[in-house]
A and B are shown apart, each in its own frame.
Chain A
Amino acid sequence: MQATLRFFCMAGLLGLIALFPLIATDYYISLAIKIMIFSIFALSLQLLVGGTGLVSLGHAAFFGIAAYATTLLSPESGAGNLLWLLPVAMLCALAYALITGALALRTRGVYFIMVTLAFSQMAYYVFHDTDVGGGSDGIYLYFRPELRLGENVLLNIDSPYSFFLFTLGCLLLVWAFLAMLMRSRFGAALTGIRVNEQRMRSAGYSTFNYKLVAYGIAGALAGISGLLYAAKDGFVNPELLAWEQSGLVLLMVILGGSGRLWGAVLGAAGLTLLQEAFQSQALFGDWSAHWHLTFGLCIIALVALMPNGLIGIRAQWRNRRRAYAPLAVSRSEP
């Protein structure tokens, strides 16, 4: 009974979301699409941080590489074909993830954080300093890709509404895939590795292989969000791979709460809206030009006050109210 009720609630919510563009202006549709793209991006990082215990500060590299791959491989005179463009963009991100992951995963803890940052910086420099991608000015994607089989156009996502639905579909697929992955034996092993890698090794798991494959999957999924980002505004520049971007998506995962998948979506929505709010003249007047200041202070405050993210707030509050807290074991962790 519980399960069917939940199912219908979910379906209803989904239906409402799908109908959202009918009542919203173009600005809000665009904002919603942006939130969904970053949700996919954050979900892919969630696999690493919350699922495997790997804190990467270089995840933007895969986002940007896929975005650039999409733009560079799309024809200038017409729409590209998603049928091969999407897999190829993901493949580029996957390749970089596997190569850099094989090296980065030899390190742990703080070293890992620094090394992932360094590898994303390396990719940044390739796009910023060389002619590969038009340098620091960035490049344009002139036609949004479509899905074609031979001569037939199966899916055209030019209109905001169709692009909205397409992005929503991608988000749901990625979410469902990750949920399935974490429930599988592979995902259970990742959970064990996150809690106690040594224990897993003593049981017989070759933990490096698990971490590497997880890193690759995360990179490929980030690639999906990269393609969508390129398709959304038609413009990509090296800042997509900058470490500010990596820090931002990491913030999304943590502020949402790294214990559950939907924490990433929550964090993506929250942080995107926060950024919009701080940049809005209506809310902050003159200070909106210096939104980095308000945003930065907000980040510090949020991390300081909500170490378990939005998801953990309920448990945090509950723990504070208890006069005597027995072994604070929470079932919210997978």
Chain B
Amino acid sequence: MTDVLLSATNITRRFRGLTAIDQVSLSLARGTVHAVIGTNGAGKSTLVSVLAGELAPNEGSIFLHRQEVTSWPQPRRARAGLGRSYQRTTIFPTLTVHENCRIAAQANHQAFWNWATPASKCKASNEAADHAISLAGLESDSAQIAGLLSHGRKRQLEIAMSLATRPSVLLLDEPLAGMGSEETDRMLGLLASLKAEHAILLIEHDMDAVFRVADEITVMVNGRVIAHGEPQAIRDNPEVQTAYLGDGE
């Protein structure tokens, strides 16, 4: 019995005459990694933005935990359990790794009007930050200034910050960007370990990684879904081969 945490139906988004995504539907179930692949400009990042709530769709609807969230702004969806990581690293470079995660974790314990208690004393945020850091394997760097980390560790921190809010759905936009093989292995190991509790959407260009970790794959070309299914089926799909894989990867 699959537990569908996020589903999107017939999402369409236009920008001044250009249709970036056209009637795209997909669903994310707990315990699966759903990869979305496609050529450059296929609309993958736009799709993530729409799912996350940064952009409003022109048509279609989005359901999170079986609740319609199409009109919900991004912060509200985030508080309901939707986490997101960015293609371009968006960590806070002058803060430590722990402080980065704590600020993210604090979103669930905001205490908007409590101006007296220092942020560093918030036990719940600290614990959530510690938990996220250990999940991402960054314990040794916990007190390190984030801006001084290596690129791979920065990407790990990016994921850790998304985990700090204890989301149930994770939208990961090219987490492996710019990583070497060792770092990629570590990241894939992390994704595999996260799978059990979360529903993960993975946008990636690294085909080997995708086939190693994905449970289902959706292929997008020019804003439309041209194929969807298990990795082997996708690999064997002739349309996908001509449109994407066949162009030498």
Contact = CB atoms under 8 A, between A and B. Distances in A.
Asked if chains A and B are in direct contact (CB within 8 A), the reply is yes
Interface of A: 180-181, 183-189, 191-192, 195-196, 198-207, 209-210, 213, 327, 329-331, 333
A202 B74 contact: yes
A184 B118 contact: yes
Interface in B145-175: 145, 147-148, 161-162, 164-165
Given A185-B106, A188-B103, A198 B112 contact: no
Nearest to B92: A195
Contact of A329 (B83, B110, B113, B148): B148
A196 to B, nearest CB: 5
Given A186-B114, A198-B90, A204 B103 contact: no
Contacts of B112: 186, 209-210, 213
Given A187-B119, A203-B161, A206-B75, 9 more contacts: A188-B103, A192-B103, A195-B92, A199-B92, A199-B161, A202-B74, A203-B103, A210-B112, A327-B93
A329 B94 contact: yes
Contact of A202 (B78, B103, B111): B78
A52 B113 CA distance: 16
Contact of B106 (A181, A189, A196, A329): A189
A183 B103 contact: no
Interface of B: 52, 54, 73-76, 78-79, 83-84, 86, 90, 92-94, 103-104, 106-120, 122, 125, 145, 147-148, 161-162, 164-165
A186 B106 contact: no
Contacts of A184: 111, 114-119
Nearest to B111: A185
Given A201-B74, A207-B75, A327 B117 contact: no
A195 B29 CA distance: 34
A19 to B, nearest CB: 32
Contacts of A191: 103
Contacts of A333: 94
A294 to B, nearest CB: 37
A199 B93 CA distance: 13
The 6 closest A-B pairs by CB, nearest first: A204-B78, A204-B107, A188-B119, A204-B79, A203-B107, A199-B90
A183 B119 CA distance: 6
B75 A329 contact: no
B122 A185 contact: yes
Contact of B115 (A186, A204, A327): A186
A198 B108 CA distance: 17
A196 B75 contact: no
Contact of A181 (B94, B115, B122): B115
Contacts of B118: 183-184
B90 A201 contact: no
Nearest to A206: B75
A185 B108 contact: no
A260 B165 CA distance: 29
Contacts of B116: 180, 184
30 contacts: A184-B111, A184-B114, A184-B115, A184-B116, A184-B117, A185-B106, A185-B109, A185-B125, A186-B111, A187-B115, A188-B103, A195-B94, A196-B90, A198-B54, A199-B92, A199-B161, A201-B74, A201-B75, A202-B74, A202-B84, A203-B103, A203-B104, A203-B107, A204-B107, A209-B112, A327-B148, A329-B147, A331-B94, A331-B145, A333-B94
A209 B107 CA distance: 13
Nearest to A328: B147
Nearest to B110: A185
Given A184-B119, A188-B119, A196 B92 contact: yes
A185 B114 contact: yes
Contacts of A203: 75, 78, 103-104, 107, 161, 164-165
A59 to B, nearest CB: 21
A228 to B, nearest CB: 23
A124 B212 CA distance: 66
A172 B81 CA distance: 42
A313 to B, nearest CB: 19
Nearest to B109: A185
Contacts of A207: 75
Contacts of B110: 185, 189, 205
A204 B120 CA distance: 19
Contacts of B162: 202
